[in-house]
Amino acid sequence: MPARRAASDRSHATDPAIVRWALIGVALAFLALFLVLPLFLVFAKAFEGGVSTWLAAVTDPMARAALRLTLLITAIVLPINVVYGVAAAWAIARFRFRGRNLLVTLIDLPFSVSPVVSGMVFVLLFGASGWLGPLLDERGIQIVFAVPGIVLATLFVTSPFVVRELIPSMEAHGVAEEEAALTLGASGWRTFFTISLPKVRWALLYGVVLCTARVLGEFGAVSVVSGHIRGRTTTVPLHVEMLYNEYQFTAAFAVASVLTVLGLVTLVLKYFIERRAAF
Amino acid sequence: MAGRRHVLPGFGLGLGITLTYMGLLILIPLSTIPLKTATMGWDRFFEVVTSPRALAAYRLSFGAAFAAAALNAVFGLVVAWVLERYSFPGRRLLDGLVDLPFALPTAVAGIALTTLYSGSGWVGRLLEPAGVKIAYTGLGVVVALTFVGLPFVVRSIQPVLASLGGDLEAAAASLGANRWTIFRRVLLPRLVPAMLAGCTLAFARGLGEYGSVIFIAGNLPLKTEIVPLLIVIRLEEFDYPAATAIALVFLLMSFTALLAINLLSWRRSRAIGHA
């Protein structure tokens, strides 16, 4: 992201005042209708019944179970995505090989597939009438409509996040320092952990932040594989959906407000990491 | 580079992990779509993918995603312009907020937009007397997809707008062009590729979007049912071949549409390059 210019650099904005204010008005109205009002509404509805009602909704056993599940999924998915992201970015950014462009395209593939389809493929593989369904059934292993299915669907949907941030960062940093370390006798792993990884730490953190936001909020893919078993396979977004569909609007918005705060935290983190712009 | 020995280690390990993981997690699972579809005969396949309900869903998904992208093209340009060029109180905050749709879970966006635009909502209440219904209609789908696509368009336009600087405009002005002519003849042609790129991303995202849409759409078959929802319904009926057939056709249509847009923008940017 380009460094922000100071206001004085905007001197070429010589539009007449009336045009300026009209455009600002249009932009503000548009952002109000689509971003600001929905954001306010979440908190207004969440606290409609007062703080005690809000507290009751977010500390409800089912809400806590949903939060625990979401945190569990996050704890499993993030490390896997970091390992995959670093490995893939290393191969792609550091080496030239046949099929490299194809690989870059394939990495982005989950972004162009509907979340619903991302969940569906695991139902087709592991569901009762799926390819491996009977095999798993015999052994009493359940993947779909259980936690493993939610993990798989989330992994699928979030796999591009870390790689995408790491590739440009690794490419920008070059390999001179690594080559120097290797010539001086450092081992491959030592070079990697003391030079390569620290150089891309901001890009890695950025990818992890974006990935976390998506893990916490993923809905479509998880919804297909979850089976909506309350207290067992409902993540926080699914819990919000169930409350809302049961017309428990205040409770739905109360739980939604927690997710919204996490979303806002993401934006703040994103802002600060972008300002470090060193990557 | 064939033949060149790599100085850096870790190529085999990195590529090995990548290919194994991608194969197991992404490629094998995705291959179930064409393979499952192939288990149904041609007749049944055609019946499913050309059923009135499926056709209506394709129309709504493509139509709403296109309308939302178009809306974002116009207003996204205004927002990017205002954020890049003018100073006003709260500008930095709004600039940061543009990324909200990336960070807010889609289900939360869905229930918030639905409540806001329903007949008793803050905005819906004002529109209802004018006979405009947004929630539970096709317009609701457009509203949700506009929300989802907004940052793609604004964030594509902003860097280009920032890079244009004042030189071009100063030159055009010194040659006697007025502001509107400068915008139309000098700035806009340079912004269009970025707008198209942003709209393409927004359009692609909008086609598959599920969480923010299902709350506000109303989900009536033939009327306000998007393709991803139809896929989910077929899955819930355990009609897996029908679900995969619809998904397959939808994916092919999406890729074709995106390819067409990419070709168009490629030709456009070439045209500008030659100008």
Lowest-pLDDT range, B6-15, B64-73, B77-86, B199-208?
Answer: B6-15
Tell which residue, B244, B98, B70, B106, has the closest CA to residue A113.
B244
DSSP A51-91: HHHHHHHHHSHHHHHHHHHHHHHHHHHHHHHHHHHHHHHHH
Question: Which band of pLDDT confidence, cut at 50, 70 and 90, is reported for residue A279?
Answer: very low
Tell which residue, A155, A71, A80, A82, has the closest CA to residue A121.
A155
Tell which residue, B195, B89, B159, B183, has the closest CA to residue A15.
B183
Domain match, A175 and A39 both: no
Residue type, B125: R
> What is the C-alpha to C-alpha distance for residues A229 and A120, in angstroms, rounded to an integer?
18
Residue that wins the pLDDT comparison between A64 and B271:
A64
Lowest-pLDDT range, A162-176, B106-120, B122-136, B170-184?
Answer: B170-184
Question: Which band of pLDDT confidence, cut at 50, 70 and 90, is reported for residue B208?
Answer: very high
Query: Which ipTM score applies to this complex?
Result: 0.90
pLDDT at B6: 63
Q: Is residue A144 part of a domain?
A: no
Q: Is residue A133 part of a domain?
A: no
CATH number at residue A197: 1.10.3720.10
Six-digit token string for A255:
């739980």
Q: Is residue A83 part of a domain?
A: yes
Q: Is residue A55 part of a domain?
A: yes
DSSP A115-131: HHHHHHHHHHHHSTTSS
> What is the C-alpha to C-alpha distance for residues B265 and B259, in angstroms, rounded to an integer?
10
Q: Is residue A95 part of a domain?
A: yes
Q: Is residue A129 part of a domain?
A: no
Per-residue pLDDT at A4 exceeds 50 = no
Per-residue pLDDT at B1 exceeds 90 = no
pLDDT at B271: 64
The most confident of the ranges A100-109, A137-146, B101-110 is: B101-110
Q: Is residue A232 part of a domain?
A: yes
Domain match, A163 and A40 both: no
pLDDT at A237: 97
Domain match, A20 and A106 both: no
B86: chain A residues, CB-CB within 8 Å: 10, 13, 20, 23-24
Interchain CB contact of B15 with A (< 8 Å): yes
- Tens-digit pLDDT profile for residues A45-83: 999 999 999 999 999 999 999 999 999 999 999 999 999
Question: Is A72 exposed, middle or buried (CB count within 10 Å of its CB: 0-12, 13-18, 19+)?
Answer: middle
pLDDT at B273: 54
Q: Is residue A132 part of a domain?
A: no
Domain match, A209 and A243 both: yes
| Phi–psi pair at A247, nearest 5 degrees | 65, 20
Domain match, A170 and A106 both: yes
Helix (H) or strand (E) holding A18: helix A17-31
> What is the C-alpha to C-alpha distance for residues B262 and B124, in angstroms, rounded to an integer?
37
Residue that wins the pLDDT comparison between B190 and A152:
A152
Domain match, A94 and A28 both: no
The CA–CA distances, whole Å, from A187 to A95, B75, B169 equal 19, 54, 55
Q: Are B72 and B269 in contact (CB under 8 A)?
A: no
Longest dimension (CA), chain A: 75
pLDDT at B269: 67
- pTM of this prediction? 0.91
| Phi–psi pair at B116, nearest 5 degrees | -70, -40
Domain match, A97 and A183 both: yes
Judged by CB atoms closer than 8 Å, whether chains meet at A124 and B244 is answered as: yes
Q: Are B145 and B73 in contact (CB under 8 A)?
A: no
Residue type, B237: E
- Per residue, the 3-state secondary structure of B19-79, as one string, reads HHHHHHHHHHHHHHHHHHHHCCCHHHHHHHHCCHHHHHHHHHHHHHHHHHHHHHHHHHHHH
Lowest-pLDDT range, A2-6, A37-41, A91-95, A170-174?
Answer: A2-6
Across chain A, mean pLDDT equals 90
Task: Please report, to the nearest 10 degrees, the dihedral formed by the alpha carbons of residues B176, B182, B184, B186 taken in order.
Answer: 110
The CA–CA distances, whole Å, from A145 to A13, A77, A132, A232, B36 equal 56, 18, 14, 9, 20
Q: Which of residues 143-172 of B touch A (CB under 8 A)?
A: 143, 146-147, 150, 159, 162-163, 165-166, 169-170
Domain match, A41 and A162 both: no
Handedness of CA A120, A122, A127, A131 (dihedral sign): positive
Per-residue pLDDT at B25 exceeds 70 = yes
Nearest to B32 among A86, A124, A216 (CB): A124
- Tens-digit pLDDT profile for residues B229-261: 999 999 999 899 999 999 999 999 988 888 888
Domain match, A211 and A266 both: yes
Domains of chain B in sequence order: 58-226 (1.10.3720.10)
pLDDT at A129: 79
> What is the C-alpha to C-alpha distance for residues B134 and A146, in angstroms, rounded to an integer?
36
Residues 6+ apart with CB under 8 A from B171: none
Judged by CB atoms closer than 8 Å, whether chains meet at B18 and A35 is answered as: no
Per-residue pLDDT at B262 exceeds 70 = yes
Per-residue pLDDT at A231 exceeds 90 = no
Domain match, A98 and A221 both: yes
Q: Are A255 and A239 in contact (CB under 8 A)?
A: yes
Question: Which band of pLDDT confidence, cut at 50, 70 and 90, is reported for residue A277?
Answer: low
Nearest to A42 among B112, B166, B170 (CB): B112
- Report the SS3 class of residue A233: coil
Q: Are B238 and A123 in contact (CB under 8 A)?
A: no
A272: chain B residues, CB-CB within 8 Å: none
> What is the C-alpha to C-alpha distance for residues A248 and A185, in angstroms, rounded to an integer?
64
Domain match, A205 and A76 both: yes
Number of structural domains (chain A) is 2
- Which domain, by its residues, includes A21? 16-46
| Phi–psi pair at A139, nearest 5 degrees | -90, 0
Q: Are B84 and B162 in contact (CB under 8 A)?
A: yes
Per-residue pLDDT at A166 exceeds 90 = yes
Domain match, A40 and A59 both: no
